[in-house]
Structure 1
Amino acid sequence: MIKGFKEFILRGNVIDLAVAVVIGAAFTAVVTAIVTGIFNPLIAALFSAEALNDAFQVQVGASTLKFGLVLGAIIQFLLVAVVVYFVFVLPINHLKKVSFFKSKQSPAEEVIAEAPPTDLELLAEIRDLLAAQQQGTGAPTGRAAGAPGSADHPWPNE
Structure 2
Amino acid sequence: MIDDFKKFINQGNVLDLAVGLVIGAAFAVIINAFVDGLISPLIGLILPGMDNLATASFKIGDSTFVYGAVIVAVITFIAIAATIFFLVVRPYNKFKERSATDADVEPTNEEKMVALLEEIARQPR
Give the TM bin, normalised by the shorter chain: 0.7 to 0.9
**Which residue of structure 2 lines up, in the alignment, with residue 79 of structure 1?**
79
Secondary structure at the aligned position of 1:49 is classed as coil
Structure 1 unaligned regions, length at least 5 = 109-158
**Which residue of structure 2 lines up, in the alignment, with residue 22 of structure 1?**
22
Is residue 2:85 matched to residue 1:53?
Answer: no
After superposition, the C-alpha distances for 1:71-118 in whole angstroms (9 at most, x for unaligned) are 000001111111122212222333333x2355637689xxxxxxxxxx
- What amino acid sits opposite 2:71 in the alignment? L
Is residue 2:12 matched to residue 1:12?
Answer: yes
**Which residue of structure 1 lines up, in the alignment, with residue 69 of structure 2?**
69
Secondary structure at the aligned position of 1:64 is classed as strand
**Which residue of structure 2 lines up, in the alignment, with residue 93 of structure 1?**
93
1:46 to partner: Cα distance: 2.3
Given the superposition, is the C-alpha separation of residues 80 and 65 from structure 1 closer, same or farther in structure 2, using an over 3 Å criterion? same
Given the superposition, is the C-alpha separation of residues 103 and 76 from structure 1 closer, same or farther in structure 2, using an over 3 Å criterion? same
Structure 2 unaligned regions, length at least 5 = 108-125
In structure 2, how many angstroms separate the alpha carbons of the residues matched to 1:40 and 1:75?
Answer: 9
In structure 2, how many angstroms separate the alpha carbons of the residues matched to 1:77 and 1:91?
Answer: 21
| TM-score between the two structures when normalised by the length of structure 2 | 0.72
- What amino acid sits opposite 1:78 in the alignment? I
Where is the helix percentage greater, Structure 1 or Structure 2?
2
- What amino acid sits opposite 1:62 in the alignment? D
Q: Which has the higher contact order (CA 8 A, sep 6+)?
A: 2
Given the superposition, is the C-alpha separation of residues 54 and 87 from structure 1 closer, same or farther in structure 2, using an over 3 Å criterion? same
In structure 1, how many angstroms separate the alpha carbons of the residues matched to 2:70 and 2:18?
Answer: 29
Identical pairs, percent? 39
Structure with the greater alpha carbon radius of gyration: 1
Taking the TM superposition and a 5 Å limit, the aligned residue runs for 1:94-133 are 94-97=94-97, 99-101=98-100, 104=103
**Root-mean-square deviation (Å):** 2.2
